[in-house]
Chain A
Amino acid sequence: MVRIDFLGPINKDSLHVDIQNLSELSEILKQDELVSSWLGNCAVAVNDMMISTKDFTLNDGDKVSLLPPVCGG
């Protein structure tokens, strides 16, 4: 299982999904009415490391975080 965390203002509880890579996650989240509109704006981290490609293999126990646009200060 892979845990998906939605950070900041997305305001959605974590998901646990059985997936092998970020492309599969993309297909699942595009079907989610709340999350789909965030996908174009969110950066992605796997186990707290920023990821730059959807072609990324996931392993059992991994944590994926979606990070919407930021504004500190």
Chain B
Amino acid sequence: MNNQLQLFEGDLPVEHIINSWYDEFRNSNYGAIITFVGVVRDENGIDGLSFDIYEPILNSWFDTWQKKANEKNALVLMAHSKGDVLNHKSSYIAAVCSPQRRVALELIDEFVEDFKKSAPIWKYDIIKGERVYARHRSTLIDGAGILS
């Protein structure tokens, strides 16, 4: 499995993922390793979230980001859940490794924000056992609507 982009059925084994990245990359002379961990909040009566992922385009989106990071001598890492993730569990981790703090701080911001608006992942609220598409929290991908 590509250790830089990892997909899991259900909630993420957060400690395992972060520790494995730390163990793998701490000896690579990166001075800064920043992780962002998304946790499912208990709100609006949901029991959790559920996710569909279209992996071919996620992979190419991630590869584009990896090239962009590599140009700055940095590395991006990501883990995401497929299927159901209950409240107070984690569905998403993003990380940046960089020789320099400032590059890492800026990249993690850009990487997470672009992920939210471009990565081909669909979110559903789990309400009374049903998956309800989170349409109002979702973002149109750039170029949407060409068939209308």
Interface residues in chain A, defined as those with a beta carbon under 8 Å from any beta carbon in chain B: 7-9, 22, 25-26, 29-30, 39-45, 48-54, 65-73
Contacts and interface: CB of A to CB of B under 8 A. Distances in A.
Interface stretch (B23-31, B67-75, B95-103, B133-141): B133-141
B51 to A, nearest CB: 7
Interface SS of A by simple majority: mixed
B122 A41 contact: no
A53 B139 CA distance: 19
Interface of B: 38, 51-54, 56-57, 60, 80, 91-92, 112, 115-124, 133-135, 137-148
Contact of B124 (A9, A29, A65, A66): A9
A22 B103 CA distance: 41
B80 to A, nearest CB: 6
Interface SS of B by simple majority: mixed
A72 B54 contact: no
B89 to A, nearest CB: 13
Contacts of A25: 147
B134 A51 contact: no
A69 B142 CA distance: 10
B138 A70 contact: yes
Given A65-B54, A71-B123, A42 B138 contact: no
A40 B141 CA distance: 11
Given A8-B52, A48-B60, A71-B134, A39 B148 contact: yes
